[in-house]
Structure 1
Amino acid sequence: MEVTSSVEFQAERESKYDRMSELKAFDESKAGVKGLADAGVTKIPRIFIHHHQQYNDDDLSGSSSSDPNFSIPVIDFEGIGKDAGQRAKIVEEIRDACEKWGFFLVVNHGIKSTVLDEMIDGVRRFHEQDYEIKKEFYTRDETKSVTYNTNFDFYQARAANWRDTIYFATAPSPPKPEELPQVCRDVMIDYSNAVMRLGLTVFELLSEALGLEPDHLKDMGCADGLYVLGHYYPPCPEPDLTLGLSKHTDSAFLTIVLQDHIGGLQVLHQNQWVTVTPIPGSLIVNMGDMMQATSLQR
């Protein structure tokens, strides 16, 4: 009788696993992660599993913290264009937040809460609409004006994230209105315009925080582009085995994040993962890698 050890069995199983075929089959379905959730899967596909060693060593280095001393700064923009003293105070708060955190929450930023709420609802409507309508936007062709797919790095990442995304550039060359999904077209245009205005204000404040003229970063071209991403995280039957978003840094000059009331975002601060508690009507400002490089070269 021939006896095969569990180690040998596992090695044989690994050798027969064709990851690329599984990736392609999922991608060609154009149903996304939402399609798996709608199908009622009880086990997530292997391509979404973040193995424990990888999960612990790479994605969650640093412990999680609920310490009130570790709380992302909240900056109030109220009165920013009316009072020089208030503006100077805000600039100082931004300087301190950027030096110590690289993140801050903004309240009273000028974007109506109705626009923020409708944007969240609009993204949800897109991802939850009928498959036959949504699949027309599913592509990995980066020349398309509007793109919907699962993970932009789907074929490069060691493990896929349990997340679908719709994304498009609104500056310098925005898509035509008819190219945007009808189910969320109007609010995407309104939200993009509002975020661009806020972004210009933030760049002015950052320039002043660096001791420069208000238009310095704008004149460098930092505000020339705007990319909008709408993430969607369907219910997962095995949440302990996967992630919605892996640990990462953003390559943009600046990222403005709108999260729903459920939250889930964490930022790494002093080697601890700090949960960003959602504040209704607030936005999160994330200093991107390019902005940090620009600041260092000043």
Structure 2
Amino acid sequence: MSKIKQAVDVTGEASTEPSPDHYDRLQELKAFDESKSGVKGLADAGISKVPRIFLRPADELASDYPIFGTHLKIPVIDFGTRRSSVVDGIRRAAESLGFFQVVNHGVPTGALEEMLRAAGGFHELPREVKMRFYSRELERRVKFGSNFDLYQSRYANWRDTLFCVMGPDPLDPQELPEICRN
């Protein structure tokens, strides 16, 4: 893990901002990717500051989110209403905002809570266990990763994801991490 820490934290202790000629973004991306540890792996390694591959200038970040400072209302789609209302609500939400909240979907609260516990439990597993699921391969139906577009985007996202393709064919539960099978 110290290799990750050294390769990602290229600035050293003496300088707060590396000079452009000393920063090798590709090397930093590769070190992060090859660690197969994700963002939590960086945090667990004890990094003292967020690696440069994740940093975005505040003005650039703000320009990506022009709704900042407005009163945004997330659409709520009630599956307990008439089908035409549900379809119309989904269409409007998808066209205007791109996401929505679903209520009265019939999934028991206990099942949702257990799913969240299992996903959180996966991210708490030892690095060696999670590494078996780390992949950039599109064909894999169960994979762990941090950024699907790590080498294409200008900035990496500070997140880890356990991704499971559940259709069109049912997923074999044995493909899932053990903690997520029930």
Q: Normalising TM by the smaller chain, what interval?
A: 0.7 to 0.9
Higher strand share: 1
1:183 equivalent to 2:155? Answer no
Aligned residue type for 1:13:
S
Distance 1:97 1:159 in 2: 28
What does residue range 139-158 of structure 1 map to in structure 2 within 5 Å? 139-158=135-154
Give the match's secondary structure for 2:101: strand
TM-score scaled by length of structure 2: 0.78
Question: Post-superposition shift, 1:16?
Answer: 2.7
Q: 2:108 aligns with which of 106, 109, 112?
A: 112
Structure 2: unaligned runs, 5 residues or longer: 1-17
Deviating above 3 A after TM superposition, structure 1's stretches of 4 or more consecutive aligned residues are 86-104
3-state DSSP of counterpart to 1:43: coil
Aligned counterparts, 1:1-298, within 5 A? 13-57=19-63, 59-65=64-70, 67=71, 70-78=72-80, 80=81, 86-90=82-86, 93-94=89-90, 97=93, 101-186=97-182
* RCO comparison, higher one (Cα < 8 Å, 6+): 1
* 1:156-185 C-alpha deviation (Å, 9 max, x unpaired): 110101101111312123442211111112
- The answer (yes or no) to whether the contact 2:62–2:68 under 8 Å persists in 1 is no
CA RMSD of superposed structures (Å)? 2.4
| SS of equivalent residue, structure 1 residue 142 | coil
- SS of the residue corresponding to residue 61 of structure 2 reads helix
1:240 aligns to what?
none
TM-score, scaled relative to structure 1: 0.50
Number of residue equivalences: 165
Deviations 1:111-132, CA, capped at 9 Å, x for gaps: 1111111111111111111111
Secondary structure at 2:19 match in 1: helix
Change (3 A) 1:93 1:16: closer
Q: Which residue pairs with 2:6 in the alignment?
A: none
CA positional deviation for 1:64: 2.5
Partner amino acid, structure 2, of 1:118 = E
Larger radius of gyration: 1
Please give the per-residue CA displacement for 1:14-47, whole angstroms capped at 9, x wherever unaligned.
1231110111111111111001111222201111
